[in-house]
Structure 1
Amino acid sequence: MSSLRVFVLLPRALDAARWQEGFARGEVPDVTPYGYHFAEEAGALVSFSRPTATSGGLLGVADKVVKRLLGFDIRHAWNNRRALLGADYDVIWTHTEYEHLGIAALRALLRMDGPPVIAQSVWLIDVWPRLSDLKKSLYRYLLGRSAVATFHSPDNKAVADELGFQLPCEVVLFGISLDSFPLRAPNLKFDASRPVRVLALGNDRHRDWSTLFEAIGGRPDFELRVGSSVWPRRFSADNVHVGAMTQDEVRAAYAWADCAVVPLKENLHASGITAILEAVALGVPVVATLTGGLLAYFAADAVTYVDPGDAQSLRDAIKASAKDPSGALGRAVCAQRQMADRDLTTRGFAMRHVRLSERLRANSGGNCGN
């Protein structure tokens, strides 16, 4: 069989060539966004979309308004229409609903088809209850034009199955780059003479900074470092240090931490999984909110889970992780084993896409099953 020809429609601002330059400077974790280039190890030929520049003036305003009203990016699809509508590729990969809904809308408007689309969604199912009936009908129709819907979480898939979309739905587990976050053996040395060192990273809309601050903010027995650009300014205390971090600073912060904490609001899309995976790879024990289908990635013997919105339980779990280094070490080792068993890396993420794509090709774009 000939090599699988893949076209990846990245989010509009991402430029694969510039991303590679950023990787060489140590600014981003993989050679290409989300490590899709690893598919080439399986013999696939991978090409990436051209970025779509954000225009100035009235055109830029109109562009933003249309994107906001539609909830997807049809302009970016239009700018890459040759690849999306032609016969040069066997499959189209997308990273979010902004891209795959844009492809479907473009094809519907032009009354043209193209290679089968793997419609990967991140936030779509979370926001579904808040959509208007008109948007729900539109999105159902557009989703039906793709070959398969994929999600990072079984919680997303379960709701999608209940909604009865007219296409198969699958879970494709996410992964992180071991090029930038190589496995490091856990080596925990908690010093009871100092505060517990806690690290929290992330900019996702479902981070629960309020519960984290309630749990340990202002408490001298904890020192909290937060790597985020969306931490609310009102959550200020002497033991809380906030700021954006470079990749080098992130790795140094993990080496500093006694534990990593991923506080989450209830969600369906495995929010926080990137931060959890980075901490696991670098041998740091993890305390996380049990929501979003995270158990599909790590069992409760590998990550300490707490209920959403429970500040007392979160504080107790952080303290217990630091005061019981033997137990924390065991969980960290177990987490690395589960990460390896499930191949929760960007290489594994790309290979899961390749296997799904080969099934689509074998079935000539038909129903590939669940």
Structure 2
Amino acid sequence: MINHGVRPIMRIPPSGRVAERIGRAARHRLGGYEWVDAFRRTTGDVVLCWDEYTGVPAVLREHHKPGRHKPVITGVVWLADEVDRVTALFARHALPKAAGVWASSGAMISRLERDWGVRKAHHVPLGIDVDFFAPRPKTEERLVVSAGNDRHRDHQLLIDAVRRLPGTRLEIATRLPIPAEHARTGLNEGQIRDLYGRASVVAIATRPNVHASGLTVTLEAMASGRPVVIPDTPGLTDYVENEHTGLVYPVGDVDALAKCVQRLVNDDAMAEEMGRAARRKVEREFSTELQAARLAELILAI
């Protein structure tokens, strides 16, 4: 952001046993939001939050404190899918007061305006560190890789699809309960990067959603020069060009998912060309530098 006219000041979350206990209790009882962090003193002219769990409390804090309040710009990730009553109550009260609301899933924009009272929502594509996630020659044949922990992941569908492909192996980096033969747990970011480097293809299976579940993994894999297989969920398909940077299948269709994976593990030339095209697309449209520029533009427009 410094390159684009904004000087960020990063706020360190509160630490210590007491703060952690209070924060945990507040999250549990009050919609999952980070209340303790949000109500600490802030510096700077504008408050920028990554998602609604810090953004909603920040908006409420600024609009209920005496004197001049700071504008709050917040990302939103989960609200277009299922949220509980308390979470929704606070969001509907706060989001219309935000100076800006943005989402990485283009499918969420109309819903934020229609259902949550947002005056004008902005689509800000997610960015990935293209230096950290860089292309490497694959080191294993017929290895399918996936990752992810959110509630919309459907790892079992991917397991069932790969089981139909003799000689093809599957590794999934996740904390979700899946058969131990496929699970890779406790991996740090560098180990996740190495997992992509070993893969022939990175495949994702999710249940229907509009917040683009699987987006981070998709872009990390593309930046790593790997072809991706993704479901046709709205938002996620904004990032992948079918038959060019990856393959898209109907969400929940195990036969179609298996066929897409089979095409790529059986055709190294096609997989490598898609991987190169995926890398070019991320460099051109979805780097962290580009996302920082887009967020800086929102801040400077206030």
Does TM, scored on the shorter chain, surpass 0.5? yes
Q: Does 1:202 align with 2:148?
A: yes
1:269 is paired with a residue whose SS is coil
Q: Does 1:175 align with 2:127?
A: yes
Q: Quote the RMSD (CA, aligned, Å).
A: 2.5
Cross-structure match for 1:148: 100
Q: Could you tell me whether the CA contact under 8 Å between 1:147 and 1:167 is conserved in 2?
A: no
Instruction: Please report how far the alpha carbon of residue 350 of structure 1 lies from its aligned counterpart in structure 2 after TM superposition.
Output: 1.0
Out of 28, 32, 41, the residue aligned to residue 3 of structure 2 is: 41
User: Which moves more between the two structures, 42-51 or 110-119?
Assistant: 110-119
- Write the letter of the residue equivalent to 2:268: P
Matches within 5 A, 1:216-231: 216-217=162-163, 220-230=166-176
Q: Could you tell me whether the CA contact under 8 Å between 1:190 and 1:323 is conserved in 2?
A: no
CA distance 1:113–1:145, change in 2 (3 Å): farther
CA distance in 2, matches of 1:347, 1:53: 30
CA distance 1:104–1:251, change in 2 (3 Å): closer
Cross-structure match for 2:70: 115
Cross-structure match for 2:200: 258
Q: Does 1:290 align with 2:250?
A: no
1:45 is paired with a residue whose SS is coil
Instruction: Please report how far the alpha carbon of residue 323 of structure 1 lies from its aligned counterpart in structure 2 after TM superposition.
Output: 1.2
Per-residue Cα deviation, 1:53-108 (whole angstroms, up to 9, x for no partner)? 2634xx755542322232222221112x243xxxx42x211011111111122234
Instruction: Please report how far the alpha carbon of residue 349 of structure 1 lies from its aligned counterpart in structure 2 after TM superposition.
Output: 1.3
CA distance in 2, matches of 1:158, 1:44: 28
Structure 1 unaligned regions, length at least 5: 1-38, 361-370
- Write the letter of the residue equivalent to 1:225: E
Q: Does 1:211 align with 2:154?
A: no
Q: Could you tell me whether the CA contact under 8 Å between 1:118 and 1:149 is conserved in 2?
A: yes
1:47 is paired with a residue whose SS is coil
Percent sequence identity over aligned pairs? 23
2:280 is paired with a residue whose SS is helix
Q: Could you tell me whether the CA contact under 8 Å between 1:198 and 1:258 is conserved in 2?
A: yes
CA distance 1:68–1:54, change in 2 (3 Å): farther
Per-residue Cα deviation, 1:332-353 (whole angstroms, up to 9, x for no partner)? 23222322331x1111111111
Instruction: Please report how far the alpha carbon of residue 219 of structure 1 lies from its aligned counterpart in structure 2 after TM superposition.
Output: 5.9
Cross-structure match for 2:213: 271
Instruction: Please report how far the alpha carbon of residue 137 of structure 1 lies from its aligned counterpart in structure 2 after TM superposition.
Output: 4.6
Instruction: Please report how far the alpha carbon of residue 164 of structure 1 lies from its aligned counterpart in structure 2 after TM superposition.
Output: 5.6
CA distance in 2, matches of 1:45, 1:70: 32
Please identify the structure whose Cα radius of gyration is greater. 1
Instruction: Please report how far the alpha carbon of residue 328 of structure 1 lies from its aligned counterpart in structure 2 after TM superposition.
Output: 2.2
Instruction: Please report how far the alpha carbon of residue 326 of structure 1 lies from its aligned counterpart in structure 2 after TM superposition.
Output: 2.7
Matches within 5 A, 1:1-370: 39-53=1-15, 55-56=17-18, 61-71=21-31, 72-79=33-40, 81-83=41-43, 88-89=44-45, 91-127=46-82, 130-132=83-85, 136-163=88-115, 165-182=117-134, 184=135, 196-217=142-163, 220-230=166-176, 232-233=177-178, 235-237=179-181, 240-300=182-242, 301-342=244-285, 344-360=286-302
Per-residue Cα deviation, 1:11-36 (whole angstroms, up to 9, x for no partner)? xxxxxxxxxxxxxxxxxxxxxxxxxx
**How many corresponding residue pairs?**
300
Q: Could you tell me whether the CA contact under 8 Å between 1:92 and 1:115 is conserved in 2?
A: yes
CA distance 1:63–1:164, change in 2 (3 Å): closer
CA distance in 2, matches of 1:289, 1:324: 21
CA distance in 1, matches of 2:143, 2:210: 29
1:181 is paired with a residue whose SS is coil
Q: Could you tell me whether the CA contact under 8 Å between 2:95 and 2:116 is conserved in 1?
A: no
TM-score, length of structure 1 as denominator length: 0.74
2:80 is paired with a residue whose SS is helix
CA distance 1:63–1:277, change in 2 (3 Å): closer
Q: Could you tell me whether the CA contact under 8 Å between 1:270 and 1:294 is conserved in 2?
A: yes
CA distance in 1, matches of 2:12, 2:186: 28
Q: Could you tell me whether the CA contact under 8 Å between 1:266 and 1:308 is conserved in 2?
A: yes
2:9 is paired with a residue whose SS is strand
TM-score, length of structure 2 as denominator length: 0.89
Per-residue Cα deviation, 1:182-215 (whole angstroms, up to 9, x for no partner)? 3x27x67986xxxx21111222332211111221
CA distance in 2, matches of 1:224, 1:145: 46
